[in-house]
Structure 1
Amino acid sequence: MIRPRPAGRARAALLALLLALPAAGCSIFEAPPVQRGNRADPELLAQLTPGVQTQADVQALLGSPTATGTFDRNMWYYISSVTRMRPASHFTVEDRRVIAMRFDEGGTLRDIREVGQDDMRRVDMVDRTTPVPGTERTVLQALFGNLGRIGAGGLGSETTPGGGPGR
């Protein structure tokens, strides 16, 4: 009967451990979730009644809104998300929530709704840059541009070796 050598078992165990580490490493080094923004608690939202509460009441209950409408100051938005940074990955958003509130001109709450992913519009970033004339340097300007500037730190204040002003 052939018995496995103790060194062979140790190598097999080490190999199994090395193969298991990459899979386990993803959760070991993962950053904890981070709450961002002003999350409107559903229990607190249930206490709001359109037509009854005012902007001051909503602010006292939920805190300041994350954003107000750009063109309509009577629109308030409570925006929050739970984010996480994963190893060898980009920043991920696990839970995003947007609550939109509309007030009338008197400051009374008129409407509360949750804005979902279907209501949002995708905005693509523009990759182009605005050219600025005169900022392009040629290779020769880059190589020889500083010739003649040696010792130019004292321009306009020439001094004599004795320390006094020159004539």
Structure 2
Amino acid sequence: MDRPCHPVNESGAPLRRAALAVGILLLSGCSLFQAPTIQRGNRVTEDQLKEITPGVQTRTDVQTLLGSPTQTSTFGDPTWYYISSRTRQRPGRELAVTDQQVVVVQFDASGVVREVRTIGADEGKPVDMVQRETPTPGNDRSLLQALFGNVGRIGPGASVPVSPGATGSGTGRQ
């Protein structure tokens, strides 16, 4: 009588296959649950930039073609900035900027376009944020002051309203 021969290691094969299938599903889910890319600002295309001719077009022409600028210059020559970026929210962290573009349109004194240029993220200057805070008087309280700060502030009978012109001990009786 011949008995079928089964290798000893074959008993764990279904478990390995299931673990492999679960691993593949988990790895494919990593890209499935990424936050979508969000376009922020007014994105200016290359075709729109080609339509702007320095020395010919005015502020009105640029605004008709590109829309309102994101920012304008405060001092100096009249300059419009069209700032746009693509961002993605990272779990538990700040927004990740994936692509940033700044289009600078400079005008002369009569409002005619003088120069159009694009600034990439590599040309930007990093700005260090100041970490100190302006002190506000009256807000430095210890833990005990915060817990027991109102104890003793309310006198006896203050919780019962007294009508105007009433006399008495403040209990509401006349």
| TM-score band w.r.t. shorter chain | 0.7 to 0.9
| C-alpha separation in 1, matches of 2:140 and 2:73 | 41
- More off after superposition, 138-147 vs 45-54: 138-147
What residue is the counterpart of 1:77 in the other structure?
Answer: 81
The correspondence of residues 79-158 of structure 1 with structure 2, limited to 5 A, is: 79-87=83-91, 90-150=94-154, 154=158, 157-158=161-162
Note the residue ranges of structure 2 that are not aligned, 5 or more in a row: 169-174
Q: How big is the shift at 1:66?
A: 0.9
Contact 1:37-1:66 at 8 Å conserved across structures: yes
Q: TM-score, normalised by structure 1?
A: 0.81
Between Structure 1 and Structure 2, whose CA radius of gyration is higher? 2
Q: 1 or 2 for the larger relative contact order (CA 8 Å, sep ≥6)?
A: 1
What residue is the counterpart of 1:166 in the other structure?
Answer: 167
What residue is the counterpart of 2:32 in the other structure?
Answer: 28
1:64 aligns with 2:68: yes
| C-alpha separation in 1, matches of 2:166 and 2:85 | 67
Q: How big is the shift at 1:119?
A: 2.7
1:41 aligns with 2:45: yes
Aligned-residue identity in percent: 46
| C-alpha separation in 2, matches of 1:140 and 1:91 | 38
Contact 1:30-1:87 at 8 Å conserved across structures: no
Q: TM-score, normalised by structure 2?
A: 0.78
Change over 3 Å in CA distance of 1:153–1:36 after alignment to 2:
farther
Provide the aligned C-alpha RMSD in A. 2.8
Q: How big is the shift at 1:34?
A: 1.2
